[in-house]
Structure 1
Amino acid sequence: MQAAGEHLLSQVTQSLLGICTGIDLEGIRSKLSEIISGYDIKRIETDQTHPDLQEKIDLYLSGKKLEGLSKVTLGGYKIHLRIFAEHMKKMVEDVTTADIRVYLGRYNNQKITTISTKLSVLKSFFGWLTAEDIIPRDPTARIKPPKKEKRLPKALSIEELEMLREACVNVRQRVLIEVLYATGCRLSEVHAINRSDIDYNTQSCRVIGKGNKEREVYFSFKALFHLKKYLFTRADSEPALIITERKPYRRLSQRGIQREIKIIAENAGLQKKVSPHTMRHTFATLTLNNGADLVAVQELLGHENPATTQIYASITAERKREQHKKHLVQ
C-alpha cells in the first residue's frame, strides 16, 4: 500500500487506541487497509494547498472570465483566493462558517476595507459554487460584512491642483495630471488608453472600466493642449498614450504612473498623500461643487451605484456654506 495510505492507517489506529479499550485493533487495521487499498490517497503537505480547493478556484475563475470580468478584477480575485487556499487545508465542502471567521480574524489588525474585500471575494466564490450546485451550502451566507469606516475622499482644493500643475518638470508629468483630472478616470483606465483612442473632434475617448464596461470620457482644453504638445515630441511607434522616457519605449506601467504622481506631489510640497485616485476624487468633488448634475457625474465616473457618487455630493461643506450665505433671506 502507498506511503500516504499507511500513514493515514497508522494515525487512525493510534487515535482509536487513545479513546477505545478492549477492541481488536489488528482486525480493524486489517479491514481499514482492505478499504483504503481501493483509493488513491495523497497526503497534503503543510506547504501545499488542497487540490480540491485549488480545482474549485480554477473552475470559479474560468466561470467568471466567461461572464466578462476584467483581467484586473480576475487578477485580484486570484490573489485573494490563493492566500485563502494556502491557509485552508480542506476540501471545499468541508469549509465551515467558523473556518472563514477564523481566517478573517487573522486580519483584525488591518483596515476594515481589507477585511471587507477578502470577505466579498469569498462570498462571490462560495456563492457561485453553491449556485452552480457544486457544493450544497454557502459557508459565507451567515457572515455579515463589517461596517465600513465613513471616511471622506481626500480631494485636492483648486489651489492644491494648481500647485501640482506648477510642480511638473516636464510635459509628460503635466499630461498625467491634466488627463487624470479632466477625465476622472481610474488608474487602470488611463494606463490602457492608446493614442488612437482619442477623438480630437469630440475631445473624448472611450475607456474600459470595472465589469468590462465601456464609457466615454472627456478632455479639457488644457488636457488636450498638453497632450498634443507631449505627442508632438515623440518619434516612437508605441501605441500607448503614456510611455516610458527611455528606450526601449513601452507603455508606462500603473506603478510608474503612481510613482510619477508621487514625485510631482513632493515637488509641490503638498503634505497630504496624492495618488492617481486622488485626482479622480478631485474631479468628482470640484465638478459637483461647481454645480454639475449628480447623475452626469455618476456616468462620467463609471459608477454603477448612484450611492457611490453620492459620497462626493455629501462632502461639499464649503459649497453648503456658500449656498446658505447666498440664498438665506436675511
Structure 2
Amino acid sequence: MTDLAERILAACDRCTMAGQRDYAILCLLIGSSLKRQQVAAVSIRDFNYNQRSLQIQRRYKHQNQQNPSEIISLTLDTADALQDWLNLIHIADDISALQAPLFISLDRAKYGHRLTGTAIYGIVKRAATKAGIAEAIAPEQLRFSREKYALNQDIETQSKTIDETGETHLRSPMASKLVSKLDYENQDRTHFDTHETQISAIPYALTEFQPDILNSLLSDKRSLNTRRAYEKDLRYFFLAAYGQKPTESVIAQFLRLNRFEAIAIALRYKSDLITQGLKESTINRRLSALKSLVNFAAKLGKCEWNLNDVQTETVQTYRDTTGIKPESIRAMLLKIDRTTIKGKRDFAILRLLWDNALRRNEVVSANIGDFDGEGRSLQILGKGRGSQKSLISLSLGTSSAIQDWLSQIETQNSDRPLFQSLDPANYGHRLTGTAIYQIVDLLAKDAGIAKKMSPHRIRHSAITAALDATNGNVRKVQKLSRHKKLDTLMLYDDNRTNMQGELSNLLSDLI
C-alpha cells in the first residue's frame, strides 16, 4: 500500500483548487487514518495550524448518544496541505466563517456546500484512476496505510506540548535553532488563537524565498470567485501555449522568455481566441489574468518585462440596462404562492432584488445575523469591498417578507445563511447564486415575460425605475446602486432617456 499511497498523492494536480483540496483530504485519510465521514464533518474552526492539531468526531458512538469529539495530532505535511487549501478559499473574520465546513464542493450546482462522504469516495476513486491503479481503491483502504507510509518522511517533524497556561512550546531542533538566532529565549511566547488569525509557525523572514508564483497570485486575491476565474483563465493559456497545465516549471519557462518572444506568444494566443469567436469581454478577461501573472512575477523579481503592448479589445459596457417595467415585477410577485415555505422565501428574495437593487452574490452571502428586523436593515458584502460589510436600509415590505420567511425556519442562529435551500438533498445549505438565477427565470416565465430575466436584469430594472422616479437624479440613485463611478449611472440614464432616438425623430420631422 505504500507505493499505492505515494502514487495516489502524486496524482493530485496541486496547481488547481480541486487538486489542493483533494490532496489535503487524501493526506488526512492516509496520514491520520480518518474515516471519510469524519473528514466530511470537519469545520474550519476544528483545525489549528500552530498546534498541528485537528478536532474530529470519534469513529464510534453509543446508540442514542451524541458523538463526542477528540483532538488528534497532524503530521507537518498534512497540516501544510490543509493550510494551503485554506489559503485558496475566502475566510471572513467573523465566527460564522470559522464554523463553515473545512472541505467544500467546487461543483457549480453545489458550490460552497459541505463535501459529502460520497464525494470523498469519488475523489479517492478518481485519484486512483489518475495514478493508473486498476483495482478499486476505497477511502477505508487508505486508512490502514498509516503504519506503512509516513507523509513527512523527508521533512523534519516538530513535536510540541501545551502547558496549563495554553502557551505552545516548539521542541523541534530546527525551531529551537531559529529561535535562538533571534534571542527569543527570554521573551514570552504568545499563543495565537486560530479563530482570530492563522500564522506560520516559522517566521517569514527565516524561510527560504522560493515563491510559488501561481499560488501566491491566487492567495493575493481576496475574492474566491476571482481566484477561480484566474486559475481557469491561466490554465487555458498554458494549455494553448505549452500543451500542459500551469505548473511551476512551465510558468518559469514562460517567464524566462525575452520580452519580444513573450509578446509574440501572447499575441498569437489572442488571435486564436478571436478565431474561436469568443466575446470581447471574455478575451479581455483571459488576457488580464495573463498580464496579472506577469506583473505579479515582476514584483517578486522573477520577470523583467510586461505585456502592456498586448492591447485588449474594445468593449461597450452596459449596452442594455433598461430591464422591465415595475408592472412586470409586480406580476412576478403575484405569481408566488406565499402560503408555502418556498413561496415565502422566494418572495423575500425577489423583494430584496427589486427594492434594494442587490446583486445575487450579495443576497447569497447574507446571514441571519446580518438582518435587523427592528431597525429594518441588512448588512451585505458589497462587490469589491472584501470582507467589509455595508449597512443598507430595507423597506417595510421587504423587512416584513424576510421576517415572514424566517418564521418558517427552525434554526435561528445568527451564523446561518439568511436564505437556505429547501431541496431534500441540500436542505439547510446556503442557497447558491445559480439557484437564485433559476428562481427569477422561472417566475418571469410564469408571469409571461418574454425578455430573458436574471437577478442582474432585475437590478437593471430597479435602477432604471429609480432614475425615472427621481427625474434622473444620479447622485441620489447612486446610494441605491452603490456604483463606485458616477459615469456608470450616467450610462443608465442615457439608455433610459434614449436621447439618440429623440434626435432621430427630430431629424425625421425636419424633412
Q: Who is 2:375 aligned against?
A: 202
User: How much has 1:272 moved relative to structure 2?
Assistant: 0.8
Q: Who is 1:85 aligned against?
A: 238
Between 247-256 and 277-286, report the one with greater CA deviation.
247-256
1:220 matched to 2:395: yes
Where 1:310 maps in the other structure, the secondary structure is: helix
Note closer, same or farther for the CA distance 1:92–1:252 as it changes in structure 2 (3 Å cut): same
Determine the C-alpha separation between the residues in 2 that align with 1:319 and 1:163.
Answer: 29
User: How much has 1:162 moved relative to structure 2?
Assistant: 1.3
Determine the C-alpha separation between the residues in 2 that align with 1:172 and 1:320.
Answer: 41
Q: How does 1:250-261 map to 2 (within 5 A)?
A: 250-261=429-440
Determine the C-alpha separation between the residues in 1 that align with 2:351 and 2:228.
Answer: 29
Q: Who is 2:422 aligned against?
A: 245
- Name stretches of at least 5 consecutive residues in structure 1 with no aligned partner: 1-53, 323-330
Q: Who is 2:495 aligned against?
A: 315
Q: Which residue, out of 228, 233, 243, partners 2:408? A: 233
Where 2:379 maps in the other structure, the secondary structure is: strand
- Contact 2:420–2:429 under 8 Å retained in 1: yes
- Contact 1:184–1:283 under 8 Å retained in 2: yes
1:106 matched to 2:281: no
Q: Who is 2:458 aligned against?
A: 279
Note closer, same or farther for the CA distance 1:272–1:100 as it changes in structure 2 (3 Å cut): same
- Contact 2:358–2:459 under 8 Å retained in 1: yes
User: How much has 1:254 moved relative to structure 2?
Assistant: 1.4
Offset from partner CA, 1:180-223 (integer Å, 9 cap, x none): 11222211111010111012343222211233153222322221
Note closer, same or farther for the CA distance 1:127–1:293 as it changes in structure 2 (3 Å cut): farther
Q: Who is 2:263 aligned against?
A: 97
User: How much has 1:256 moved relative to structure 2?
Assistant: 1.1
**Cα RMSD, aligned residues only:** 2.6
1:56 matched to 2:209: no
User: How much has 1:320 moved relative to structure 2?
Assistant: 11
Q: Which residue, out of 310, 325, 337, partners 1:143? A: 310
- Contact 2:322–2:496 under 8 Å retained in 1: no
1:122 matched to 2:286: no
User: How much has 1:242 moved relative to structure 2?
Assistant: 0.9
Q: How does 1:7-22 map to 2 (within 5 A)?
A: none
User: How much has 1:123 moved relative to structure 2?
Assistant: 2.6
More helix by share: 1
Determine the C-alpha separation between the residues in 2 that align with 1:200 and 1:142.
Answer: 53
Query: 4+ residue runs of structure 1 moved beyond 4 angstroms?
Result: 318-322
Where 1:217 maps in the other structure, the secondary structure is: strand
Between 221-230 and 199-208, report the one with greater CA deviation.
199-208
Q: Who is 1:172 aligned against?
A: 345
1:156 matched to 2:324: yes
Q: Who is 2:356 aligned against?
A: 183
Determine the C-alpha separation between the residues in 2 that align with 1:257 and 1:310.
Answer: 28
Q: Who is 2:226 aligned against?
A: 73
1:298 matched to 2:455: no
Between 101-110 and 178-187, report the one with greater CA deviation.
101-110
Offset from partner CA, 1:211-269 (integer Å, 9 cap, x none): 31532223222211221111112223561111112443221111111111111111111
Equivalent pairs: percent with the same residue?
Answer: 22
Note closer, same or farther for the CA distance 1:296–1:123 as it changes in structure 2 (3 Å cut): farther
Between 265-274 and 102-111, report the one with greater CA deviation.
102-111
Determine the C-alpha separation between the residues in 2 that align with 1:176 and 1:113.
Answer: 29
- Name stretches of at least 5 consecutive residues in structure 2 with no aligned partner: 1-210, 243-249, 338-342, 503-511
- Contact 1:182–1:218 under 8 Å retained in 2: no
Where 1:215 maps in the other structure, the secondary structure is: strand
- Contact 1:185–1:280 under 8 Å retained in 2: yes
- Contact 1:285–1:316 under 8 Å retained in 2: yes
Q: Who is 1:25 aligned against?
A: none
The normalised TM-score by structure 2 is 0.48
Amino acid at match of 1:254: G
User: How much has 1:318 moved relative to structure 2?
Assistant: 7.0
Note closer, same or farther for the CA distance 1:225–1:320 as it changes in structure 2 (3 Å cut): farther
Determine the C-alpha separation between the residues in 1 that align with 2:490 and 2:302.
Answer: 38
Tell me: higher relative CO, structure 1 or 2? Use CA pairs within 8 A at least 6 residues apart: 1
User: How much has 1:321 moved relative to structure 2?
Assistant: 10
Determine the C-alpha separation between the residues in 2 that align with 1:130 and 1:304.
Answer: 29
- Contact 2:368–2:412 under 8 Å retained in 1: no
Note closer, same or farther for the CA distance 1:297–1:125 as it changes in structure 2 (3 Å cut): farther
User: How much has 1:141 moved relative to structure 2?
Assistant: 0.4
Q: How many residues were matched structurally?
A: 264
- Contact 2:373–2:403 under 8 Å retained in 1: no
Note closer, same or farther for the CA distance 1:203–1:316 as it changes in structure 2 (3 Å cut): same
